[in-house]
Amino acid sequence: MKKIAHIQKSAPAHWVGNGFHVNSLFFYEQDAEALSPFLMLDYGSPKSFAPSTQPRGVGQHPHRGFETVTVAYQGEIEHHDSEGNRGTIGPGDVQWMTAASGIVHEEWLSPKFNASGGVLEMAQLWVNLPAKDKMTPPRYQEIVKAQIPTVVDEGGARLQVVAGEYAGKRGPAMTYSPINVWDTQISAGQTLNLSVTDGYTTLFAVLKGSVKVNDTQTVTSPALVVLAREGTEAKLEALGADATVLVLNGEPLHEPVVGYGPFVMNTEAEIMQAMQDFQSGRFVRAKAAA
Ligand code: MN
């Protein structure tokens, strides 16, 4: 069984714009190497929004050097960007946006959901790009629920394979480095035995419920478990109530991480360049349409 390296409770929830009330489960500044290739995870637990005619969300802002992965659990989220991509995701859908060389986007509650009101539950993960891919053209993958294979484990737990592979099922997301993103639902009393690649970063983001990890530690949501890189076996047991655990498993990049706000690069000079490009209007590609 893998050793548990570290457990951390989430910081208190904060607002991103006026649409996303999230708990930050991790952020790369705390220990970029231990989390690599993952940079950040925000989770917005179920939150009720009253009907509104005023848009709610985050207006135009840039990103460079990494990918943003947005998961909608409940409610609807809309996105548009400087590449001309536009999409609305609902329960079970995922937006996988590769900012890479530079993108400017907006993230909103969908106009329909905003008008009707309702419960929003979502997560946003940031995945780093290898240095050689940071300045490649942006890409946008809209992944609907029907494309994401579900595996029912022997113990009855369900896993949605968003990226990578589990039990022979491949997730639809194209990635730049080897990663697995498994969205797992473990009913109360069920146990999920996981086998992961030795030497990879393995993170358990406990979004809902309480779980016993590797028969030793009890972890209550929202919290993060960082497992040791060594070893391949891990175990999650849902205690008392149904649990949702986002399992992140990936090959560490072993490259310097230098970030500033919406930019994550490898050097200070590249961050300066990103700021200069953004201020001078040379940030997005010529085909910019939004
Ligand atoms: Mn963004």
pLDDT at 286: 65
Distance between Cα 103 and ligand 1 center (Å): 9
Buried b (16+ CB within 10 A) or exposed e, 194-216: bebeeebbbbbbbbbbbbbbbee
Distance between Cα 231 and ligand 1 center (Å): 34
pLDDT at 205: 98
Distance between Cα 17 and ligand 1 center (Å): 10
Please state the length of the chain: 290
Distance between Cα 121 and ligand 1 center (Å): 17
Backbone angles phi, psi at 28, to 5 degrees: -60, -25
User: Strands 233-250 and 201-213: what pairing?
Assistant: antiparallel
pLDDT at 281: 86
Q: Which residues of the chain fall below pLDDT 50?
A: 288-290
Distance between Cα 92 and ligand 1 center (Å): 19
Distance between Cα 88 and ligand 1 center (Å): 15
Distance between Cα 97 and ligand 1 center (Å): 9
Distance between Cα 14 and ligand 1 center (Å): 15
* Rounded Cα–Cα distance for residues 101 and 66 (Å): 9
pLDDT at 116: 98
Distance between Cα 254 and ligand 1 center (Å): 25
pLDDT at 289: 46
Distance between Cα 235 and ligand 1 center (Å): 33
Distance between Cα 122 and ligand 1 center (Å): 14
Counting Cα atoms < 13 Å in the Cβ hemisphere of 177 gives: 23
Distance between Cα 148 and ligand 1 center (Å): 23
Distance between Cα 106 and ligand 1 center (Å): 7
